[in-house]
Amino acid sequence: MIRVLHGSDEFSVSERLIEIKTAAGSPEVMLPNTNIFEGDGYSRDELIGAASAVPFLADKRLVIVKGLLGRIEANSGRRNSRTLKVPKGDWTGLSDVLPSLPPSTDLIFVDGELRKNGVGLKTVGSTATAEQFDVARGQALDMWIAERFRAEGATAAQSAVQRLADLIGGQTRLLAQEIKKLSLYANGRPIETADIDLMVAPAREANIFAAVDAVLDSKPSEALRAIHQLLDEGSSIHYLLTMLARQTRMTLVAQDMMDSSATESDIAKRIGVREGSFPLRKTLQQARAHPHGYLAWIHRQLLEADVGFKTSSVGDERAAAELLVARLSTAR
């Protein structure tokens, strides 16, 4: 059988490949009956030769080809091909040869995103079964998270599912890790939003966004509530001021880049966050909502306060931080 596993969701692609390998037989039996081709150090004839071999004391032979179709598509002239060298030799006519492979061979092409009618998929022809795995969004992502909890033997409140989706987005590999950790922590009871805020690493960063939002929106009670939560969770005053200043700086950088018509991808790279992530969405939201001069003033005040805390003896640092946040959130 000839398969193509591809899409933007690399984690789901890798999980599907594991399923296929597991179904083929035990690792001991499949080890001598598995060939993996990746990079550019092989030819079409070498690939076909491996795929044409009869399995040794097994029912199946697995031949896994990683990245070939993406490289061929990239070199079709529609994508940047400078770092995507196609393996040696001529790959034209590959689709004509594949139907002659023995039925005992599972030939699996593993790739990232491929165009539906692009050169990559056309290279393997209509005899291949293509399975596409794209990053889920919205309700589809909520369903993915809920199903993953069930697979771990756990249940989660809808509010907890949505909170997790908002914090991590469609990063399925990271979601899977956090879901496993939360399931072990809950130990059979339903997982609530409070568990997400306690156990998931990005939740603390989300509280930084909440504090910045409240300061910029002139909501002192909400700002103080967010600050108290961060301090109660163990954050130091210096960490708090540093993170608040970092977020306002990122917002200023994003604002300048948006004024220059930069793409979200370019902004994400410049400020050091993942494209499509919760931090990027919140930063862009803040950049659109507030004047540049006001953001710059907040940033200067935070930097000056941080220097003051580090170079002078403040009796009650917590009280001083609370006064600073209250002052900044009532400045407009």
Domains contained in the chain, CATH given:
2-132 (3.40.50.300), 138-199 (1.10.8.60), 202-329 (1.20.272.10)
Within 10 Å of residue 307's Cβ, how many Cβ atoms?
11
- State whether residue 326 is helix, strand or coil: helix
pTM value is 0.62
Under the phi-then-psi rule, with left for phi > 0, alpha for psi from -120 to 50, and beta for the rest, what region is 274? beta
Angle between helices 158-168 and 202-216 (to 10 degrees): 80
Query: At which residue do the structure tokens 């034209």 appear?
Result: 92
Alpha-carbon distances, residue 53 vs 3, 34, 42, 214 (angstroms): 18, 11, 17, 65
Angle between helices 10-24 and 172-186 (to 10 degrees): 70
Q: Are the CB atoms for 251 and 271 separated by under 8 Å?
A: no
Q: Are the CB atoms for 110 and 66 separated by under 8 Å?
A: yes
Q: Are the CB atoms for 305 and 241 separated by under 8 Å?
A: yes
Alpha-carbon distances, residue 234 vs 91, 227, 237, 285 (angstroms): 58, 11, 10, 28
Q: What is the pLDDT of residue 86?
A: 65
Query: Under 8 Å CB-to-CB from 182, ≥6 apart: which residues?
Result: 149, 154, 156, 191, 195, 196, 199, 200
- State whether residue 3 is helix, strand or coil: strand
Nearest C-alpha neighbor of 164 from the set 197, 123, 212: 197
Report the C-alpha dihedral over residues 247, 250, 251, 254, rounded to 10 degrees.
-160
pLDDT tens, the chain, 332 aa long: 999 999 988 999 999 999 999 999 999 999 999 999 988 788 888 999 999 999 998 899 999 999 889 888 887 755 444 445 666 667 878 888 899 999 999 999 999 989 888 888 988 888 899 999 988 888 899 999 999 999 999 999 999 998 888 777 777 888 999 999 999 999 999 999 889 877 886 665 667 777 888 888 888 888 888 888 777 766 677 777 887 888 899 999 999 999 999 999 899 889 887 777 777 888 899 899 999 998 999 888 888 887 777 666 555 777 877 888 888 888 76
Q: What is the pLDDT of residue 105?
A: 93
